[in-house]
Structure formats: C-alpha cells, structure tokens
C-alpha cells in the first residue's frame, strides 16, 4: 500500500512538471462587443460616459439603502415642541400683555431758552396719560419736586413742578425730545384731604395673530406604485419619499415659526388665505432690541443685548439661535484669549455651549438651516436671535393629520392614483417680544 501511494505521487509530480513546462499561447484578444468594457448593465454610467455597450443580462448594482443626506440640526422645532401647544377656537386670535404700569416722564423739545432754576418750572412733556397732580418726580441730578398742575397741549401737556420746601429745581437746558427724563417716585397726600388726585388704570397691549393652514402631498400612479413595491431595487425608496415629505412639511412649519408674516395671500384659484406671523416679523413690529456689531465687538454686543432685554427673573435662561459659524465666532471671542493647553492635550476645545453673565444665562443653539437659502434669505446667515423661549407658545386649531386618498380598488372612485398627504394648522403666540433681541454680525466670513 505504501509503495502504491509513493508511485502515485511520483506520477502526479511528473504530470505537474510536464504541464508547467508547456508554453501556452492564447488566441488573439477578443474585439468589439466581446470585450469586458462592453459588458455593462442597462443604465451604466460608465457606458453612457464613454460610448460602450450595455446588456440586459446584467443587473445594475445598486446599494439597496438610500443614504439620508439632508442637513440636520432642527433644534428650534425640538425646543418648541417641548411646550404644550395652545389650541385655539378660531383662525384669528388675540392676546394681551399687562405691562409694568410705570413709565418715566419724557420731555418734549425745549427750545428758545433754558428753563431757569427756581421754586417752580413749567415743562413740556410728551406722555400726558402717565401724569397726575400730586406726583413726586425726580430730576436726573436727584432733585425732586411735586407736579401741581397738568395742562394738556394737543398730544402732550405742560406740567408745573414745584420744588420741595427749602429746595430749588435745577436748570433744564435747551434740548431735543427726551433730553429731560423725570422719574416717578410716588404719589403723596396731605392729612385731612377730601379728594384723590392720582387715579390710574393699567393699559394692556393687545396683540393678535392668524392661524395658517398648511398642506403638502405626493402622488403615485397605480402602476407606478405597484412597480416600486414589487420590483424596486431600493428597499427604502417609498419609505424615504414619505419621510422626506413629512420632514419638508415640518421644515415649512419651522420657516413659518421664524419668518412668517401675518397677513393675507391670493392663491392660484383666486381664493384668499390667512398667513401666520412668525418670531422675526413680530419682533420687528414690536420694536425689539436690534444691535449690529463686528466680530471684534460681538461679545460685548451680545452682553449689551442681553442686559437691555432682561424682563424675567434674575439669572433667567434664554436661547441664542444662530448658524454654527456665528456660534463658533462668538465662542472664539470669549475663549481664544483665555484658552490654555497642557503638553498632553490632544483636543483643542474652542466652542462654548452657553455663557452666564449673572443676570442672564445664554444657551447657544446652532441653526444650520439659517444658511439654507431655500428656507431663509441670506441675511439670516449672520443674524442671531436671543429669545425668551418661555414667552413663545405654538398654537393650532386642528392637530397634524396625514393619510392616503382612496383609489379605484378600495374607494369606488375613478382615480387611478394615490395621494399621500399631510396637513396642519400652525401659528405662534409671542408674549412680550421686548424680552428678546436680534444681533447682526456685520463682517461674518
């Protein structure tokens, strides 16, 4: 047995040696359509680009999953959705704000000659609705007097101020409107009086908005839909189509939230529709603080904006929305000069999540979509919004709805297609826009 095995190995070795020694010369290389460059599936990009043939025998190699390449960072909607929306009974709603109820007394223009120092002064003012006799007022130098007469003059009034016993009112120089501001200390009453001089009623600010109807749909023919479901190479094509429509719909809601304008539009069929006002137009209409600054002064401008719009509790948290680029440069303004590293550091941490200036905490919220010109004008790329999020409430009449229309098979209609649709009603109630502000960067790269 052993001998036979050895003999077999010897024969195999001889055969291998002889085969290896043969000089094989193949036939001439194939030409024309027999070459590999012409063996491409239908729809081949290579064949189309370079003029080669295709064959139906080969299937096109396609990755079966569609990659989601849409920009993310929709943190505005995530933050807004944390608040319970307010359901309204009508598509036009009103809401009121009760202000502080106390205003300084603003002078009208003082012309001709200064108002001389003395025991009494007659001062022209603008806001006559905020003054009464027997109010103690305080001058900028902390001198004080009592209003003893109010004489209306058109839109304003002339008030007579009488100095405290033994004191003299200061000179009021010539100046434009608002050059003199008197503070209101308190009302005063003498013992034994039988009348009240200081009456007040606190005015409210009335604001309103419309609720906008929003709808979006996509359509698939009956045969088209069947082919996608049964023979499609991309297993998530229909799923991604539907999810993208939902996503784009909610982006539209976000665009309304930021930049919608309260008003009326005319549709293609001639019908009219209400449109909802958004954060930015409401702030513009209300006169919210708006500051422009260069990168060199952006940190100081942000602090000035925050300090000038503080209406909440001490240390209140507000949100600063801006592009990642704008947020990065604000972080640099605070960090670059003070950042320190050790020899073993591998990561340079150059960004901030928030700044705390004591009376306000400002949380940075990157908004990549502010760079997307299909959603916002180019000016939003360098615009930041400091928002008191507690004062903004989403509003609706009907909740979000979605569905598919009936077709011939299951609806008894003649429609040879199916519409997938999504709709909603959307608006915002923005209380006290003066507690929010806008910061524009004039030289953002």
Could you tell me the sign of the dihedral formed by the alpha carbons of 70, 75, 76, 81, in that order?
Answer: positive
HSE value, Cβ hemisphere, 13 Å, CA-based, for 73? 14
Residue 257 lies in a domain: yes
Within this chain, do residues 405 and 267 fall inside the same structural domain, yes or no? Answer: yes
Best CA proximity match to 389, nearest among 432, 333, 443: 432
| Calpha distance 334→353 (Å, rounded) | 12
Shared domain for 211 and 196, answered yes or no, is: no
Please measure the distance between the N-terminal and C-terminal CA atoms of the chain and give it in whole angstroms. Answer: 87
Among 166, 201, 236, identify where a domain stops.
201
Same domain for 162 and 226, yes or no, is no
At 347 the pLDDT is 66
Q: pLDDT of the chain along its 445 residues, tens only?
A: 444 555 554 544 444 455 445 565 555 655 555 667 888 888 888 888 988 888 877 766 665 555 555 555 556 767 777 778 899 999 999 988 877 778 889 999 999 999 999 999 999 998 887 789 999 999 999 999 999 999 998 888 999 999 999 999 999 999 999 899 999 999 998 888 888 888 887 778 889 999 999 999 999 888 888 887 777 766 677 888 888 888 888 889 889 999 999 999 999 999 999 999 999 999 999 999 999 999 999 999 999 999 999 988 898 999 999 999 999 999 888 887 776 667 777 666 767 788 899 999 999 988 888 998 888 999 999 999 999 988 999 999 988 888 888 877 777 788 888 888 999 999 999 999 999 999 999 999 8
Asked, for residue 295, whether it belongs to a domain, the answer is yes
319 to 292, 333, 369, 372: CA distances (angstroms): 18, 18, 16, 21
CA distance 439 to 302: 7
CATH code at 135?
2.40.30
CA distances from 324 to 87, 117, 185, 314, 362 (A): 34, 57, 47, 28, 15
User: Are 165 and 253 within one domain?
Assistant: no
Cβ-based neighbours of 351, under 8 Å, separated by 6 or more: 327, 328, 331, 335
Residues 442 and 295: their CA atoms lie apart, in Å, by 8
Does residue 187 belong to any structural domain of this protein? yes
Domain boundary among 201, 234, 264: 201
Q: Mark whether 88 and 122 lie in a shared domain.
A: no
Task: Report helix angle 237-259 to 279-286, nearest 10.
Answer: 0
Q: Going by C-beta distance under 8 Å and a sequence separation of 6 or more, which residues neighbour residue 311?
A: 388, 432, 434, 435
Range of the domain at 274: 75-97+207-339+349-441
pTM (2 decimals)?
A: 0.74
431 and 413 in a single domain? The answer is yes
Q: Are residues 88 and 138 in the same domain?
A: no
CB 361 within 8 A of CB 388: no
Give the number of domains in the chain: 2
Domain endpoint, select from 185, 201, 217: 201
User: By the 8 A CB rule, do 153 and 122 touch?
Assistant: no
Question: Does residue 124 sit in the same domain as residue 194?
Answer: yes
Do residues 90 and 125 both lie within one domain? no
Q: Does any domain span residue 21?
A: no
Q: What is the pLDDT of residue 12?
A: 46
Residue 408 and residue 436 in one domain: yes
Is residue 48 in a domain? no
Residues 379, 257 share a domain: yes
Q: What is the largest CA-CA distance in the chain?
A: 143
> Is residue 17 included in any domain, yes or no?
no
């Amino acid at each position: 047995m052993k001998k036979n095995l050895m003999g077999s190995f010897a024969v195999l070795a001889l055969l291998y040696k002889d085969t290896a020694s043969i000089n094989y010369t193949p036939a001439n290389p194939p030409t024309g359509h027999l070459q590999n460059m012409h063996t491409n599936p239908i729809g081949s990009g290579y064949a189309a680009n370079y003029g080669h043939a295709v064959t139906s025998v080969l299937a096109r190699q396609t990755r079966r999953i569609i990659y989601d390449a849409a920009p993310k960072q929709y943190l505005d909607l995530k933050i807004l959705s944390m608040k319970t929306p307010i359901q309204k009974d009508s598509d036009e709603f009103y809401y009121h704000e009760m202000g502080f109820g106390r205003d300084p007394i603003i002078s009208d223009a003082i012309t001709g000659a200064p108002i001389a120092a003395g025991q009494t002064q007659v001062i022209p003012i603008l806001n006559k609705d905020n003054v009464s006799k027997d109010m103690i007022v305080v001058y900028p130098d902390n001198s004080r007097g009592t209003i003893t007469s109010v004489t209306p003059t058109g839109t304003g009034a002339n008030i007579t101020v009488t100095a405290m016993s033994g004191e003299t009112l200061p000179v009021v120089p010539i100046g434009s409107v608002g050059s003199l501001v008197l503070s209101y200390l308190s009302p005063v009453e003498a013992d034994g009086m039988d009348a009240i001089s200081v009456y007040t009623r606190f005015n409210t600010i009335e604001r309103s908005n419309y609720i906008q109807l929003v709808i979006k749909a996509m359509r698939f023919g009956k045969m088209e839909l069947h082919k996608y479901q049964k023979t499609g190479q991309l297993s998530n094509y229909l799923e991604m189509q539907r999810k993208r429509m939902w996503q784009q719909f909610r982006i539209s809601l976000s665009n309304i939230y930021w930049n919608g304008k309260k008003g009326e539009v005319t549709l293609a069929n001639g019908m009219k529709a209400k449109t909802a006002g958004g954060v930015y137009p409401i702030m513009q209409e209300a006169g919210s603080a708006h500051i422009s600054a260069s990168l060199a002064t952006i940190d100081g401008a942000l602090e000035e904006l925050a300090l000038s719009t503080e209406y909440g509790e001490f240390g209140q948290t507000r949100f600063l929305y801006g592009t990642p680029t704008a947020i990065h440069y604000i972080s640099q303004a605070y960090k670059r000069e003070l950042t320190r590293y050790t020899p073993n550091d591998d990561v340079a941490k150059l960004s901030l999540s928030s700044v705390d200036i004591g009376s306000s905490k400002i949380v940075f919220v990157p908004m990549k979509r502010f760079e997307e010109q299909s959603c916002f004008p180019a000016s939003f790329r360098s615009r930041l919004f400091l928002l008191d999020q507690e004062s903004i409430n989403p509003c609706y009449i009907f909740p979000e709805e979605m569905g598919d229309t009936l077709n011939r098979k299951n609806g008894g209609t003649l429609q040879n297609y199916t519409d997938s649709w999504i709709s909603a009603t959307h608006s915002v109630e923005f209380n006290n826009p003066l507690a929010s502000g806008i910061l524009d960067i004039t030289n953002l790269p």
